Amino acid sequence: MVNRVALVVIIVPLAIILIALAVANRELVAFTVDPFNPGNPALTYTLPFFVFLFAALALGMLVGSLATWVRQGRYRKLARQRGVEAESLRQAAVRPAAAPRQGPALPGPAN
């Protein structure tokens, strides 16, 4: 149910906005990679403007995701360490006793 609400409330309006941007920005735009020689045709790309808009959006999402992943690295490391500790404790609790203890017998319960 939450996925359907997210789809209707967030994804559909976003898709409509992106399609409207793509239709409104169909003109060809020159993008030059070389700032010192803008007339260099080998380093100039001419594409519709919406391609550059979508590329900038995708690049921003990629950089933001990478920054978040790097920033949360210490928390992932801590979770891995705690997971290993928890797993070793679980195995110790589940492991059956190899042999009965050879100590003094405890007295039975008093009635």
Q: Are strands 44-48 and 28-32 parallel, antiparallel or unpaired?
A: antiparallel
Both tokens of 88, joined, read 């070793």
Domain encompassing residue 53: 2-94
Task: Please give the tally of structural domains in the chain.
Answer: 1
Residue 31 near residue 53 (C-beta atoms within 8 A): no
What 3-state class would DSSP assign to 12?
helix
Q: Please report whether residue 109 resides in a domain.
A: no
Q: Please report whether residue 63 resides in a domain.
A: yes
Both tokens of 55, joined, read 């590329």
Residue-averaged pLDDT of the chain: 83
The whole-angstrom separation of Cα 42 and Cα 39 is 9
- pLDDT of res. 70: 94
pTM: 0.60
Q: Please report whether residue 38 resides in a domain.
A: yes
Q: Please report whether residue 30 resides in a domain.
A: yes
Summarize the confidence of residues 60-74 as an average pLDDT: 94
What 3-state class would DSSP assign to 30?
strand
- pLDDT of res. 72: 92
DSSP 100: -
- pLDDT of res. 99: 55
Higher pLDDT, 87 or 59: 59
Q: Please report whether residue 32 resides in a domain.
A: yes
Q: Please report whether residue 7 resides in a domain.
A: yes
